[in-house]
Structure 1
Amino acid sequence: MLSLRRRSLQLFPVIALAGALLAAAAALASAPNGGPTRLLRSPTVSATQIAFAYANNIWIVERAGGMARRLTSFQGQTSNPHFSPDGKWVAFSGEYAGNNDVYVVPSEGGEPKRLTWHPGSDLVQGWTPDGKAVMFSSSRATWAPSGAPRFWTVSAAGGVEEPMPLPRGYQGKISADGLRIAYRMNNSWDEERRNYRGGQNRPVWIVDLKSYDLVSPPWTDSKDVDPVWVADSVYFISDRDGVANVWSYDTKSKKLVQVTRFTDFDVKTIDSGAGTVVFEQGGYIHELDPRSGKERTVNITATGDFPWMMPRWEDVTARMTNIGLSPTGKRVVVEARGEIFTIPAEKGDVRNLTHSSGSAERDPAWSPDGKWVSYFSDKSGEYKLVIEAQDGLATPREIALDHPTHYYTSSWSPDSRKIMFTDTNLHVWVLDVATGKAKVVGNDPWMVPQRTLNPAWSPDSKWVAYSSRLKSMYHAIFVSNVETGESKQITDGLADSVWPVWDASGKYLWFLASTDFGLRSQWLDMTSYDHDVTFGLYLAVLKKGEPSPLLPESDEDKGVGSAPNIPGGGGRGARSGATPGAAPDAGAAADQTDQTPQAPRAPRTPVTVAIDFDGLQQRIVSVQGVPERQYSQLRPGVAGTVYFLEAGAASRGRGGPGGGGGGSELQRYRLSDRRAAIFVTGVADYDVSADGHQLIYRTAGAPGGGRGQGAGAGQPPVPQLFLVDADRNP
């Protein structure tokens, strides 16, 4: 039976997703009202025409704009188009033979001619001033694993490639007189990172090709890229004002000028020719008059048959992420390729709740009363919170959120009346479902790459616990009153405390804490990268007078005929915090034989969480029986039970059911046992049902990678879902 053994729950290829998403992107790029096409990349300009990259191909259009035509019709990638000085040829990089090589094609159309044959990647940069050779960058001349590129030229008629004298070069153009080159020396690991100010940034270099004298525009630490020539001036892209804009530097007067002043989207690529400049910004192509400094958007329409953008059935099994369980584990909710699905545990069909390939739906959560599924959707252009009936039959309710941004980690309160989530700005929000009004109840003041708030609801829906950084960059556990918004710091900040969760009994607050975090407190300090941070398991006894569940015990022999200790009656069976009349604890249930019929599980008894903040730090207990290791994702089960992942443990040769040798070990700790035990291995993500009796986990695979085609030869394993009885003995 499903309640006793694992069962694989796969999402089969019955949903049109990937192609539909691309078709929606194409619809967005070509407005239905005949407006200009967007997502046009890498423009280049001649006296009469503009060429650009779009939908994996090279296109060309008159400088005034209008309907573009294709120069290439290849389903692979073609990029980096550049007109020859006379405008008769377009050089570009293409993958026709499976490798990125240099090609040229007549501007009126025709068959592309391949110029380079080396297995290295060749990126076209432009032409020599006489139009006889194509200049490109390539790392072909190095044996390094990540080779440094340099500039090369190859004759447009074909022949042997010749290296230019500069030892390194990534982006650059030769001046019209052929005497100088303006270039960017090195590439960076993240070309799209905005406002990066690290050591990979370099100024634009302008070098005399005879004397090798070097000059540079004034520069401090900005990201300056893609220089091009207009007479004696160098135009380039720089983010020195916070947004990537076009700047110019006059090599004679040494004057630096900001030419464009966009405040929304960055300028991405730029080129020049025939005395004008073209660049890409906001998905459109702009033409800039260097004399007046004025720019205009070139209205271009590009239409065609794009087979890869046509709707089709697509297997999205490998895309499953953000899994969650219904309250009693009858169904599983998952996010896959921007859609929300629910999957039956045993009987029934997979349901697509969203059917919205043109938008992204993410972070689903199931209400504890079982009636609703919530998720975030950007269908309107900004993310809204959507609440939908779990069967998908009723019209979804959309709730517009103040200051829309990106949202994370949504979860329902146990009474199903509120929804909690976090945002890009590291705020913890609580939304009243009835009114749709949200308020901030907590925050993290320090923006670092890892999002570590991980808020959790108390069993009575009145409190929220979360982790926030202090000025020392250590995390501390905070508890916030949902009604008043008042927050209290629970831990003292001398250890790094993360992943708070509430015990189902309402008596304890569990969390992980590290006492060797100091060397890793500064996230960008690379000297600490070889130091692993380990965590221990802790709990705080919330109410004064409540005894610690970890008090010392002593086995005493009372003689033959004495009654043994039973659950709820003291001794080892009473340590779970169970109350008289409550359901047996997990340990007792697991000890029953398979032949013993199990009574239906009763709903959790409502609890009230009482917190005595006075002296609370003195009631924090280190949980014994849990060695300090690399733990994360602490989650509660039934009363006295928590689960957590141990990173990397399965990869040390301890395979396991569903593990395939990868992923993490899922550990379970029960107060009734006073020890942690391996519950399952090979886990990438997991969730526990609201009643604490069912657990869903996803095996280590490739979520978000590949093209949803499943595992095959040489491909990573496809992640699978397994539903297990959380009360079982491992």
Structure 2
Amino acid sequence: MKTAKYGIIAVIMLAWLSLLAQDRLFRFPTIHGNRIVFTYAGDLWEVTLPDSVARKLTNSEGLEIFARFSPDGKWIAFSGEYDGDRDVYVIPADGGEPRRLTYYPKRDIPERFGFDHLVFGWTPDSKKILFRSMRESFNSWLGRLYLIDVNGVFPEPLPFPYGGFASFSPDGKKLAMNRIFRDFRTWKRYKGGQQQDIWIYDLENHTIQKITQYEGMDHIPMWYGDRIYFVSDRSHTANIFYYDLTTREVKQVTFHDEYDVNWPSLGDGKIVYENGGQLFVLDLRTHEYRAVPIYIKSDHLLARPRFKNVSENISEMAIAPGGKRALMVARGEIFTVPQKKGDPRNLTNSSGIRERAASWSPDGKWIAYISDASGEDEIYIIPQHGRGKPKQLTRNSQGYRFKPVWSPDSRKLAYADKNLKLYIVDVLSRKVTFVDSATRWEIRDYDWSPDSRWLVYAKPGSNDMSSIYLYSLDEQRIYPVTSGMTNDYNPVFDPEGKYLYFLSQRDYNALLGNFEMSYVYRHMDRVFLVTLQKDLPSPFAPESDEVEPKTDEDQKNNQKEDSEKKQKSRTPLRIDVDGIQQRVIALPIKAGNYSNLRAIKGKVFYLSHPMRGLSGTIGEGKTQLKVFDFSEKKESTFMEGIQTYALSPDGEYLIYRSKKTFGIVKTSQKSAKVGDGKIDVSRLEMYWNPREEWAQIFHEAWRLERDYFYAENLHGVDWEAMRQKYEKLLPFVTHRFDLTYILGEMVAELSTSHAYVGGGDMPKVKPVKTALLGARLEPDHRAKRYRIREILYGENWIASRRSPLTEPGIQVKEGDYLLAINGQELTTDQNPYALLQNLADKAITITVNDQPGLQGARTYTIKPISSEFNLNYLTWVEKNRRYVEEKTNGEIGYIHIPDMGARGLNEFVKSFYAQIKKKGLIIDVRYNGGGFVSQMILERLRRILVGLGKARNMKELYTYPDAAYYGHLVCLINEYSASDGDIFPYYFRKYGLGELIGTRTWGGVIGIRGYTPLIDGGYITRPEFGLLSDEGKWIIENRGVEPDIYVDTLPSDQAQGKDPQLDKAIEILLQKIKAEPPRLPEPEPYPIKR
């Protein structure tokens, strides 16, 4: 399909013609003299002015970014992905073979956190490279600054543990820096707790001074003479400003008003920067700036149209009546795939248009689907053989639509939309009929009666429970089937018209908590049915075998029954709605966790899922496809180990998916296993035009924000103008990374939290996993050996938290020398991680000694790990816990909550109940990454002691309610307390639980429903849920939560190992304990009853 395409092709061609003279989307530039090096399409290119034709310097599958010329102009350092990881590389300024300088494995993080091992610059003498690494951090926000000699082996850390962009003073004794690194965030005009200022750190005296005071973003400092240049959004659009070290004045230098200034770099008296995809050069002597015209002579290989196998991109499946062909949606194309014989067919052939939600008509003639060919989601049908043009059934729509479902007579389709509404469209007349609308969530479950005259659906209610409703097409009237007192969903009709099946959560069997009197209800689902006619008995009514001799009259009656059955198939289905809510019957199966209920004649199929906790599946169970046979009145397992399935419209066949395996089997068989009826999906191919697909992604992302953003006014942003503004850059996209950048810039205009973009089909670098020891190493240059500076704390009973050097039998201690790895001697002439490449999770030998020589050395076989992230976290927490324990003689406990998800809830539970008898508790939500469980934790902390209990042989009283904490609380917060980590301290204070100590929080509380997938596997988020106070006022967003007691932890504190925030928490709690010691009353004497 090549129609419409939003006018995409026209837009692209016009832009190409109008801007033929130059290319764009040059990223992360660096400058020295008249030479500029930049990233283009993932590689490094160079242009030498005044010549504007660029020359390619690097060529690899990965991204080469953040090139930086050395001050003497001899070298270019950059962050690259040559050897299966992201590391720091250096090449001669004229180009050449990259030399790898770092070997520690990168942290895999979402795009919004930037990249690991980013090069920031050089020391003024051109001897060392300044870069940022996350190797010692315990969350995705933090990274440390390191220096590595251009000819060196092992990086040396700067004194403070965390930092952002930085630039050396001309004498190399000071550092202009951002303490915070949030430069990849897609959030313009940000003013929350992570707003960035420029600081000067004295590397000799270890003192720090803040030099800018703006409430927004001052970042990427560049020190030149007695001025520090930086980017700021104080002019609304980000521009370059400078701070004068003599006058202490801040002045604006550039005055762009359409696009932000991005990623400036200082070199040789000039600053080069991005603006609207172009590069500009700012002369620091005159403050004049101009665009640099650049021409790229490239084959643009990544943007060339080509045939592409999309068998790895299958997102949906269905099946034809008769089971001869499967229906697949892959990469936005609709395919039919033969069960055995023949070839796959691409029905749509429409690169640049996204088709989805496909289903086969019961008469086998048509495929219905949703397409954005018009620029909006509309419903189409296309002949199943692919030899006809598609027909558009709906028009003038705006908003996301959900899957169209065929009526059995193939004349109508039911569908729903993001506006919580349910519709029916007539295939012949194309008339659209409104059915119903919800008030809270979308309507997702709907099904047709066998006579196509009734529609059944589950509508979410204001109580967050769904109820089942029937809609009569003849009467245009709605009838409730269930009462609204239970959660009922997934309704489907019996093909014979006798029953209506649905899933419902009506089985109550509480699970009690291990630590306290708490409860949770899980596995509440069962399959239920409603008899559609009053006189129809229950299929589970008592039965009795009786002998009844046949007569001539019986023969006549049998003939009459056959005639009546034929007539009944042609007459409308009778549904007795009167009293229908009382005709609900449960199938005789165990309560469980069920989904995807489907019905055929005499049977129902449904998926049964194992019990899951927040951290994953509990036990060894697999998802099973169950079938209940009404003739046998028994449930059995049809298949197991599948993710989903679908039935053919005639109910005779079933298609299943198990990871990458698809198969078609008959529903009449007793059971099947994965691999039965396997169909070959390996030949799914499409003609793929990357540019067209990138345009589709752009426009879909724009629509999703338009349709789902929590504020109908989109924060006052002219969203159509934003589309036009960033659409101008689309013709210049030659790499998926460029598209991610444009999407990020566009959604950032909404000035909101949780507006994320990422992923997508980018060139993949085959990873090489480096082994890690769970220890921090440091070079002893006198001995020419590496010492084990610190062994990281672990919890060896959990595989993901195993610390290899602390396992039984491994006698390694801090201060030991690491002399050899796998028998290869190690000296400071080598990077130890170079010897650990490709050895992650493989057994290795290490040789250690308490002295640098081999005499008396010990050799151990260990199994290394692939990441030290968890160990970094456990080590930090354990140090804090022990520090608090020692400073308070055990009176105060310490609990850190790393996020508000499974990990954070587990850490809270692990620490809270173990320390519930402490007189004070420090609840630390610094560096909390957010989630959704804050209200659960607050509910535990809020419990009020109202009573006590005593047993004769117990030494202590017990509390009512159980696990009610009656000591004192404080909460630590900082700029990295984010999202639900913002919300927690807000309500901690509102509930009066204690003081908030630290710095202002992140300030991002517009919630999302996870990632919304894009056509190529990328994602975008839709900020949908705003947060209000109980007075109806918008709270926290783009500001954060202010502490009651402001305490900052400066880099100078961190360099000395101090934590002033933790010290203040201890101080406040000790004061409160002294003033109001938490004690339980002494019980009165036992009563005398005689």
Is the shorter-chain TM-score for this pair beyond 0.5, marking a shared fold?
Answer: yes
User: In the TM superposition, what are the counterparts of 1:12-51 in structure 2 within 5 Å?
Assistant: 33=17, 35=20, 41-43=27-29, 51=37
Aligned ranges for residues 151-170 of structure 1 at < 5 Å? 151-169=145-163
Matches of 1:494 and 1:559 in 2, distance apart? 45
Q: How far off is 1:125 after superposition?
A: 3.9
More displaced 10-residue stretch of structure 1: 285-294 or 85-94:
285-294
Give distance in 1, aligned partners of 2:519 and 2:106.
Answer: 32
Map residues 54-133 of structure 1 onto 2, 5 A cutoff.
54-61=40-47, 67-84=53-70, 89-106=75-92, 108-120=94-106, 122-128=116-122, 130=124, 132=126, 133=128
Note the C-alpha offset of 1:278. Answer: 3.3
Structure 1 40/634 Cα, relative in aligned 2: closer, same or farther at 3 Å?
farther
Query: In the alignment, is the contact (CA less than 8 A) between 1:455 and 1:500 conserved in 2?
Result: yes
Q: Secondary structure at the match of 2:124?
A: coil
- 1-side partners of 2:359 and 2:496: how far apart? 23
Alpha-carbon distance in structure 2 between the residues aligned to 1:439 and 1:290: 65
Give per-residue Cα distances to partners, 1:362-407, cap 9 Å, x unaligned: 3322122211123334456555544221111123335674344544
Secondary structure of 2:582 counterpart: helix
Structure 2 CA distance for partners of 1:287 and 1:258, relative to 1, 3 Å: closer
Query: Could you tell me whether the CA contact under 8 Å between 1:80 and 1:123 is conserved in 2?
Result: no
Q: Which residue of 2 aligns with 1:723?
A: 664
Where does residue 322 of structure 1 map in the other structure?
A: 316
In structure 2, the CA distance between the partners of 1:98 and 1:268, relative to structure 1 (3 Å rule), is farther
The structural deviation recorded for 1:47 is 7.0
Query: What residue identity is the alignment partner of 1:347?
Result: K
Which has the larger share of helix?
2
Residue-by-residue CA offset, 1:667-696 (whole Å, 9 max, x unaligned): 122333333221122222211111112111
Alpha-carbon distance in 2 for matches of 1:492, 1:257:
67
- Look up the equivalent residue of 1:535 and give its one-letter code: D
Aligned to 1:8: none
1:344 alignment partner in structure 2: 338
Paired AA for residue 634 in structure 1: L
1:627 has 2:590 as partner: yes
Q: What is the correspondence of 1:454-465 to structure 2 with a 5 Å cutoff?
A: 454-465=445-456
Tell me the matched-pair count.
617
Alignment CA distance shift 1:195-1:30 (3 Å): same
Alignment pair present for 1:680 and 2:639: yes
Aligned to 2:466: 475
Post-superposition offset of 1:260: 7.7
Instruction: Please name the residue that 1:212 is paired with.
Output: 208
Amino acid at match of 1:72: T
Alpha-carbon distance change, 146 to 208 in structure 1, aligned in 2, over 3 angstroms: closer
Percentage identity across paired residues of the two chains: 29
Asked if 2 retains the 8 angstrom alpha-carbon contact of 1:649 and 1:664, the reply is: no
Is 1:608 the equivalent of 2:576? no
CA contact under 8 A between 2:413 and 2:425: conserved in structure 1? yes
CA shift for structure 1 position 209? 0.9
Instruction: Give the stretch that moved more between structures: 204-213 or 396-405.
Output: 396-405
Instruction: Name the structure 2 match of 1:53.
Output: 39
Supply the distance in 2 between the matched residues of 1:630 and 1:158 (Cα, whole angstroms): 58
Tell me the C-alpha RMSD between the 2 structures: 5.2
Q: Pick closer, same or farther for the CA change 1:501–1:104 going to 2, 3 Å.
A: same
The separation in 1 between residues aligned to 2:125 and 2:590, in whole angstroms, is 70
Query: Which residue of structure 1 aligns with residue 349 of structure 2?
Result: 355
> Which residue matches 2:899?
none
Match of 2:178 among 170, 174, 183: 183
Partner of 1:708: none
Instruction: Report SS of the residue matched to 1:605.
Output: helix
8 Å contact 2:608–2:626 — kept in the other structure?
yes
Structure-2 change in CA distance of 1:487 and 1:48 (3 Å): farther
Q: Is the 8 A contact 2:189 2:233 kept in 1?
A: no
**Separation in 1, partners of 2:156, 2:608:** 54
CA deviations on 1:7-65 (whole Å, 9 max, x unpaired) are xxxxxxxxxxxxxxxxx99x979976464656655455667565443333123457999
Contact 1:419 1:433 in 2 (8 A): yes
- In the TM superposition, what whole-angstrom CA distance separates every residue of 1:232-275 from its partner, at most 9, and x where no partner exists? 5642689x99xxx747898757999998887xxx9796334466
Task: Judge conservation of contact 1:259–1:293 (CA < 8 Å) in 2.
Answer: no
Deviations 1:184-212 (A, max 9, x none): 64679xx777799999x733254331323
Taking the aligned partners of 1:628 and 1:336, their CA distance within structure 2 comes to: 35
Partner of 1:138: 133
Displacement of 1:481 in angstroms is 5.5
> Aligned-pair distance for 1:73?
1.4
**In structure 1, distance between residues paired with 2:519 and 2:88:** 40
Aligned mate of 1:552, from 541, 561, 564: 541
- Kindly indicate whether residue 627 of structure 2 is the aligned counterpart of residue 668 of structure 1: yes
Cα offset, 1:137, TM superposition: 1.6
Q: Name 1:150's counterpart in structure 2.
A: 144
Aligned positions of 1:359-438 closer than 5 A: 359-378=353-372, 382-398=376-392, 401-424=395-418, 426-436=420-430, 438=432
Q: Is the 8 A contact 2:254 2:289 kept in 1?
A: no
Paired residues of 2:120 and 2:130 also in contact (CA < 8 A):
yes
Q: What residue is the counterpart of 2:529 in the other structure?
A: 539
- Alignment counterpart, residue 500 of structure 2, candidates 506, 509, 520: 509
**Contact kept? 1:506, 1:608, Cα under 8 Å:** no
Residue of structure 1 equivalent to 2:581: 617
Q: Distance in 2 between matches of 1:101 and 1:559?
A: 85
> 1:128 deviation in Å?
3.9
Higher strand share: 1
Query: Cα offset for 1:581?
Result: 6.1
Q: Which residue of 1 aligns with 2:605?
A: 643
Q: Is the 8 A contact 1:78 1:95 kept in 2?
A: yes
2:281·2:292 contact (CA, 8 Å) conserved in 1?
Answer: no
Mapping of residues 196-345 of structure 1, within 5 Å:
202-204=194-196, 206-210=198-202, 211-213=207-209, 227-229=220-222, 231-232=227-228, 234-235=230-231, 246=238, 270-273=263-266, 278-279=273-274, 284-285=277-278, 302-305=296-299, 315-345=309-339
Alpha-carbon spacing, 1:420–1:86, altered in 2? closer, same or farther (3 Å): farther
Task: State the alpha-carbon separation in 1 of the partners of residues 132 and 433 from structure 2.
Answer: 52
**Paired residues of 1:369 and 1:416 also in contact (CA < 8 A):** yes
Amino acid at match of 1:509: L
Amino acid at match of 2:132: S
Deviations 1:60-119 (A, max 9, x none): 457999654322112333233345567775432112222211123455544333332334
* Structure 1 contact 504–637 (Cα < 8 Å) conserved: yes
SS in 1 for 2:569: coil
- Shift in Å at residue 344 of structure 1? 2.2
TM-score (norm 2): 0.48
Counterpart CA distance in 1 for 2:87 and 2:61 is 16
Aligned-pair distance for 1:646? 1.1
